[in-house]
Copies of this chain bind each other. A is one copy, B any other.
């Protein structure tokens, strides 16, 4: 018997029929004897509709009241899902975030979880019930007010509960089959990644992959919770996110698998419906890179002719950080003609107005000549633990972009990631040529697996 946490997003519970379908999936696990905790988002567009309602009465809703309002969405979906389960003969009980013990700080709209005290959930499980928990919400330890966890909050709820309950796996259900080697809308040859480390997943998420939020992956890594990102529309294997290749997790009511075996088995027949009982080993060599992420949401600030005096660059970064902006990449170029430097930095477009204002207010102290801002940039990143042991990765990256005529504006690297900034109009092409250059296209992967050539 396993303890499984299953999280269903808003599109999986958009209407009564979807909810009944989700209830059927949950009941398979419950009826097979597993303990199941379900975390659920608000139905379909409910959250947006509630925010619209708020905007009809005020332009400046107090954060506390807005949290109270939007959390009604999960209260509705969890109660209806619980009813559907009971109707299917499964004893189920729904709990708000507060009842489930999600204790947070008091920062409305983006609260952090301080601790999880799931006593009522454990009681429900011990009594043989499925526990349904409202995602995205908690209760403030200090004020006892209802809080929300911000974007991707339901994933975080699921991972936090899985950690507190020491669940065998935390399944994240959505309408796609898992994590892909690139966004399939941009790179049609993108393929599903069967197994990925937390570190790689973090780098993908931080650089534009939208399937999981950074925060839930960080939580999963910290508490060693294996994640399984999969579709609520099929019984197929999705993507396992874990740092422990020896961890054995349930992937179906009747099947468990060692995480390190997932990629191997998946490659043998990537479209196969579970349960899988094929123990053949096709001898897959792990690809050098796991995926290509892209991001259009950043802008670039360039500060020109900053005096090359110790402390001036530091002052600039202090000023920008003080405006609340999250700086991503930084490039500094020395002038060849005078004692000045040009400093470029990228940051979320939403943070740019405050940062620009702060820089202008410090014009005299920094002593620069000019500030420029460009929001037409794009960032493409390759992520893969295999890069550590493979020389020539950056050479392949730059050669493929050069052959496609794509200019590189900025570069940043970590041990398992290279990101480059290009013009936004060239971004989609950049994703495709890089995806091909590293042998990630679906046909090429077949060649690698079965022919041993092609890379």
Q: Is A406 an interface residue (CB 8 A)?
A: no
Report B-chain residues with C-beta under 8 Å of the C-beta of A144.
99, 120
A83 B57 Cβ-Cβ under 8 A = yes
Q: How near does chain B come to A108, taking the closest CB pair, in angstroms?
A: 12
Q: Is A448 an interface residue (CB 8 A)?
A: no
Q: Is A110 an interface residue (CB 8 A)?
A: no
Number of copies: 2
Q: Is A14 an interface residue (CB 8 A)?
A: no
A57 B72 Cβ-Cβ under 8 A = no
Q: Is A19 an interface residue (CB 8 A)?
A: yes
Q: Is A267 an interface residue (CB 8 A)?
A: no
A72 B66 Cβ-Cβ under 8 A = no
Q: Is A327 an interface residue (CB 8 A)?
A: no
Chain A 173-185, CB-CB to B under 8 Å as 1, else 0, gives 0000000000000
Q: Is A79 an interface residue (CB 8 A)?
A: yes
A408 to B76 Cα, complex, angstroms = 50
A68-B57 CB under 8 A given contacts A86-B62, A120-B144: no
Interface segment out of the listed A26-34, A48-56, A360-368, A376-384: A48-56
Chain A 74-89, CB-CB to B under 8 Å as 1, else 0, gives 0110111011101100
Chain A 332-358, CB-CB to B under 8 Å as 1, else 0, gives 000000000000000000000000000
Q: Which residues 62-109 of A sit at the B interface, judged by CB distance below 8 A?
A: 62, 64-66, 68-69, 71-73, 75-76, 78-80, 82-84, 86-87, 92-94, 96, 99
Report B-chain residues with C-beta under 8 Å of the C-beta of A59.
87
DSSP class of A's interface residues: helix, strand, loop or mixed? Answer: helix
Chain B minimum-CB-distance residue to A20: B57
When the two chains form the complex, which single residue of B57, B69, B83, B120 contacts A66, counting CB atoms closer than 8 Å? Answer: B83
A431 to B75 Cα, complex, angstroms = 45
When the two chains form the complex, which single residue of B61, B75, B78, B80 contacts A83, counting CB atoms closer than 8 Å? Answer: B61
Q: Which residues 9-24 of A sit at the B interface, judged by CB distance below 8 A?
A: 16, 19-20, 23
Chain B minimum-CB-distance residue to A79: B69
B120 A87 Cβ-Cβ under 8 A = no
Chain B minimum-CB-distance residue to A50: B76
Q: How near does chain B come to A207, taking the closest CB pair, in angstroms?
A: 36
Report B-chain residues with C-beta under 8 Å of the C-beta of A80.
53-54, 57, 69
A76-B83 CB under 8 A given contacts A16-B53, A16-B57, A65-B93: no
A146 to B82 Cα, complex, angstroms = 15
A59 to B20 Cα, complex, angstroms = 13
Q: Is A58 an interface residue (CB 8 A)?
A: yes
When the two chains form the complex, which single residue of B23, B50, B65, B75 contacts A68, counting CB atoms closer than 8 Å? Answer: B75
6 interchain residue pairs of minimum CB distance: A16-B56, A69-B79, A58-B87, A57-B84, A68-B79, A72-B72
List A residues at the B interface (Cβ < 8 Å): 16, 19-20, 23, 50, 53-54, 56-62, 64-66, 68-69, 71-73, 75-76, 78-80, 82-84, 86-87, 92-94, 96, 99, 120, 144, 146
- What would be 14 A-B contacts, judged by CB atoms less than 8 Å apart? A16-B56, A50-B76, A54-B80, A57-B83, A58-B87, A59-B87, A61-B83, A64-B93, A65-B83, A65-B86, A65-B92, A68-B78, A69-B76, A72-B79
